[in-house]
Chains A and B, each alone.
Chain A
C-alpha cells in the first residue's frame, strides 16, 4: 500500500501568513489521484482539493494544491482564522486508499 507522510506535524502561523503543507508518497500516486481534506474539531473532514490541484466546489481560491508523482503540496495563500484546523492528504489511485497522518495548523 502507498504510505503518505505529511510534514510538518504541526505548523504554527499567524492569520494573514502563507501556509505550505507537504505530503510525500512512498511510491508514485497514479494519475495525480491525491486529495486534501480539512477537519475542524468535532466535525467530519471536508474535501478541499482533488486531482492534486483541482479545488472542490465552494472552496476559496486561497487554497491551492500542486505536485505529482510522490511529492504534493497544499498552499494556503493568506490564512484566515477559520483555516486553523487539521489537514489530511489522501491517495485514491491505488488500492487500498490511504491517508496521511495529518498536519495540525495552529495559531501562533
Chain B
C-alpha cells in the first residue's frame, strides 16, 4: 500500500536550518509529482512547494521562495525540504502529499502523517 513517512522535524531557533524528509513506498515514486503542504497550529492548509516527477521543475509559495528548497532522490524514493533562514511563522505541521494523477494539477490522494517544525528562540 502507498505510504509516505515524514521525518526531520523539531525545535529550531529563528534563522537556523532544518531538513525534512519524506520516505515513500508502495508506488512508483519516480512517476509522481510531489508536494509539501503545511498547517500552522489551529490554522488551515498552505501549499509550500512542488516538484516534478523527475526533479527538474520546482515551484514555491511566495512565503518560502528563496529560503526553502525542495528536492528528491528517485533512487531512494525520498522527498526532501531544505528549510533555511527559518522564521517564527514557519512553525507548522509539514506534510508531504502525492498527486492522484502524478501530474502537478491534481488532487492529493495520499498524505504522510506529518512532522512538526517549531521555530522558537
Question: Using a CB–CB distance below 8 Å, which chain A residues touch chain B?
Answer: 33, 35, 37, 43-47, 50, 56, 88, 90, 92-102
User: Is the pair A96, B47 in contact by a Cβ cutoff of 8 Å?
Assistant: yes
State whether the Cβ of B54 lies closer than 8 Å to any Cβ in chain A: no
* Interface of chain A, main secondary structure: loop
For A98, the chain B residues whose CB sits under 8 A away are 47
For B35, the chain A residues whose CB sits under 8 A away are 97
For B61, the chain A residues whose CB sits under 8 A away are 96
User: Is the pair A35, B59 in contact by a Cβ cutoff of 8 Å?
Assistant: no
List the count of A-B residue pairs having beta carbons below 8 Å apart: 52
Nearest chain B CB to A34's CB is how many angstroms away? 9
For A35, the chain B residues whose CB sits under 8 A away are 107-108
What per-residue 1/0 map shows which CB atoms of B84-106 lie under 8 Å from chain A?
A: 00000000000100001000111
Q: With A35-B108, A45-B95, A45-B111 given, can you name 16 additional A-B contacts, CB distance below 8 Å?
A: A44-B95, A44-B112, A50-B100, A56-B109, A88-B45, A90-B107, A92-B106, A92-B107, A94-B105, A96-B47, A96-B59, A96-B61, A97-B35, A99-B44, A99-B46, A100-B44
Question: Using a CB–CB distance below 8 Å, which chain B residues touch chain A?
Answer: 35, 44-47, 59, 61, 95, 100, 104-109, 111-114
For A33, the chain B residues whose CB sits under 8 A away are 105
User: Is the pair B105, A93 in contact by a Cβ cutoff of 8 Å?
Assistant: yes
Nearest chain B CB to A100's CB is how many angstroms away? 7
**Distance A102 CA – B45 CA, assembled complex (angstroms):** 9
Nearest chain B CB to A55's CB is how many angstroms away? 12
Nearest chain B CB to A47's CB is how many angstroms away? 5
Nearest B residue to A97, CB-CB: B47
Report which residue of B46, B105, B106, B107 has the largest number of chain A beta carbons within 10 angstroms of its beta carbon.
B107
Nearest chain B CB to A16's CB is how many angstroms away? 28
